[in-house]
Chains A and B, each alone.
Chain A
Amino acid sequence: DIVMTQTPLSSPVTLGQPASISCRSSQSLVHSDGNTYLSWLQQRPGQPPRLLIYKISNRFSGVPDRFSGSGAGTDFTLKISRVEAEDVGVYYCMQATQFPLTFGGGTKVEIK
């Protein structure tokens, strides 16, 4: 299985300041079709996860543009340009390049 490792585990952030989450995979996520199937999900407290980003950097419909994804190969980053109160929650990266689909352990974003 591909292991997804996220850092940090927790990210206390001041409102209006940026936040960055790193995700590293144990092997390249480049699929044989040339795409890289790396997604980011947000899980607010008491809610199911919600898709933010797919294929590294594509924002899902309705996701604010303060969220951006980048990276390639085995190293990926989710950035929040200016954290708002509604961004509190746990963020997961996920790979779907190889079966089984696997998730990172999660990064908790909280307000200082």
Chain B
Amino acid sequence: QVQLQESGPGLVKPSQTLSLTCTVSGGSISSGGYYWSWIRQHPGKGLEWIGYIYYSGSTYYNPSLKSRVTISVDTSKNQFSLKLSSVTAADTAVYYCARDRQGFGELLTWGQGTLVTVSS
């Protein structure tokens, strides 16, 4: 059974870069057929798709964040990562990693989420 777990700092200063890692267990990122996603949820609000990556390294980003986002994959560690640069308070949110079958919104598996607060 595939499980996902987010990790990273819970507090980031404004203008700095938010960095999170999602560790995949119970299955291999390299097995193919899945897109490894980042989704965030502002406090008390709805869901926002940030982007996803295929194990080959192909990435797709939300244009609203594209200039600040980098998603990468490390198949040797069975992890994928999110970097969001030049953060502001508006980036305060719970960040989820998720597994999307075929990249068409079949978000089969989710991490528990990690709250990242942007504050000085």
A binding-site residues for B, Cβ under 8 Å: 1, 31, 35, 37-39, 41, 48-51, 54-55, 60, 92, 94-97, 99-106
- The reply to whether A96 and B103 contact each other, CB–CB distance below 8 Å, is yes
The reply to whether B47 and A96 contact each other, CB–CB distance below 8 Å, is no
Interface centre among B96, B103, B105 (most CB of A within 10 A): B105
Determine the chain B residues whose CB is within 8 A of the CB of A37 once the complex forms: 104-105
Whether A92 contacts B46 in the complex (CB less than 8 A), given A100-B63, A100-B64, comes out as yes
Beta-carbon contact of B46 and A104 below 8 Å:
yes
Chain B contact residues: helix, strand, loop or mixed: strand
A95 touches B105 (CB 8 A): yes
When A92-B46, A104-B46 are in contact, do A35 and B110 touch as well, CB less than 8 Å?
Answer: no
Q: Which residues of B are in contact with A by a Cβ distance under 8 Å?
A: 46-49, 51, 60-64, 96, 100, 103-108, 110-113
Name the A residues within 8 Å of B104 (CB-CB). Answer: 31, 35, 37, 54-55, 96-97
Measured CB to CB, the nearest residue on chain A to B37 is A101
B60 contacts A49, C-beta separation under 8 Å: no
Q: Which residues of B contact A50 (CB under 8 A)?
A: 110
Contacting pair B105 A101 (CB below 8 A): yes
Known: A100-B64, A106-B46. A39 touches B110 (CB 8 A): no
When the two chains form their complex, are residues A100 and B46 in contact, meaning their CB atoms are under 8 A apart? no
Known: A41-B107, A48-B110, A51-B107. A101 touches B49 (CB 8 A): yes
A48-B113, A100-B51 are known contacts; what are 20 more A-B pairs with Cβ within 8 Å?
Answer: A37-B104, A37-B105, A39-B107, A41-B107, A48-B96, A48-B110, A49-B96, A49-B107, A55-B104, A55-B106, A92-B47, A94-B105, A94-B107, A95-B105, A96-B104, A97-B104, A100-B64, A101-B49, A101-B105, A106-B46
Closest residue of B by beta carbon distance from A47: B112
Q: Which residue of B lies closest to A103 (CB)?
A: B47
CA gap between A50 and B46 in the complex, in Å: 14
Closest beta carbon of chain B to A32's beta carbon, Å: 12
Closest to A6 in B: B46
Write the chain B residue with the least CB distance to A106. B46
- Complex Cα distance, B47 from A23, in Å, reads 15
Q: Distance in Å from the Cβ of A51 to the closest Cβ of chain B?
A: 5
